[in-house]
Amino acid sequence: MTLQEYDYARESPSKLAASCLLLALTMKNLGGWTPTLEYYSGYRSQELHPLVKRLNFLLTYQPHDKLKAVRTKYSHRVFFEVAKVTPMDMLKLEEILKSC
């Protein structure tokens, strides 16, 4: 989704990937940013928080008329129906990120 949003072009690909991973871990309640993830990514959890919030906002307020083919593709069970996962409540995400 970020490929079609110009605002994300200035972010480094590694930071964007790390932020997406942290958001996914948080959304699926799979734990937080571990020292191993910090070591291999080169990013501390706190560095990723602003971008994680922006990504969740993008998921929450996405126009449903855009990217229908992508949404359909990733709604299939082969892709674990990730397009059907509901975004996190912004306040709950903020609370979880503060505790990281």
- In sequence order, which ranges of 6-76 are alpha helices (DSSP H)? 13-27, 35-41, 45-60, 68-73
Mean pLDDT of 24-45: 94
pLDDT in tens, 3-33: 878 889 999 999 999 999 999 999 988 988 9
> At 34, which CATH number?
1.10.472.10
- The amino acid present at 13, given as its one-letter code, is P
Q: Can you give the pLDDT at residue 45?
A: 95
Using pLDDT thresholds of 50, 70 and 90, give the confidence band for residue 57. very high
Query: Which range of residues forms the domain containing residue 84?
Result: 2-99
- Residue 71's Cβ-side half-sphere holds a number of Cα atoms within 13 Å equal to 11
pLDDT in tens, 59-75: 888 766 667 888 888 88
**How many other CB atoms are there within 10 angstroms of residue 52's CB atom?**
26
Tell which wins on pLDDT, 1 or 36.
36
Number of domains composing the chain: 1
Helix 45-60 with 90-98: angle, nearest 10 deg:
170
